Amino acid sequence: MVQRVVVGGGRGAPQMQMNGKGRMLKPLLASCADAPEELLAQLKLEGGALVREVSEGSPLRVHDLVVAVNGKSVARLIDLEALLEEAAPPVQLTVLRRGERITVKLE
């Protein structure tokens, strides 16, 4: 099973999903949205997906900014979803958290 970062969703989102490759995904980790342009300008970034909500036990935190998946840039939310859909575990997310660039590993 692969952990999943989801788009949109929120409280009404399903707790388990299948990915396009027929693999069962672990419970949803987070709800994300396109990063606001003002935030990207302030951080001098071209893109990213902003974490809005997290599930219990998620390695992500609210306000994390996901900027890459396995070294591939995330410009918008749709990129994050596509990169996660094609990725095989383990997946490494590059995240900006409180101004620090960190790596979050998803099994």
Distance CA 27, CA 48 (A): 22
Neighbours of 37 (CB within 10 A): 9
Nearest to 50 by CA among 75, 25, 27: 75
What are the pLDDT digits (tens) for 28-61?
A: 578 888 888 998 899 888 899 999 888 888 888 9
The set of residues, in sequence order, having a beta carbon less than 8 Å from that of 38 and lying 6+ positions away, is none
Which pLDDT value is given to residue 53?
A: 87
- Summary mean pLDDT of the chain: 77
pTM of the prediction?
A: 0.75
CB 8 within 8 A of CB 56: no
Q: In this predicted structure, what is the pLDDT of residue 1?
A: 31
Quick one: pLDDT at residue 74?
A: 93
The pLDDT value given to residue 68: 94
Both tokens assigned to 101 = 């660039």
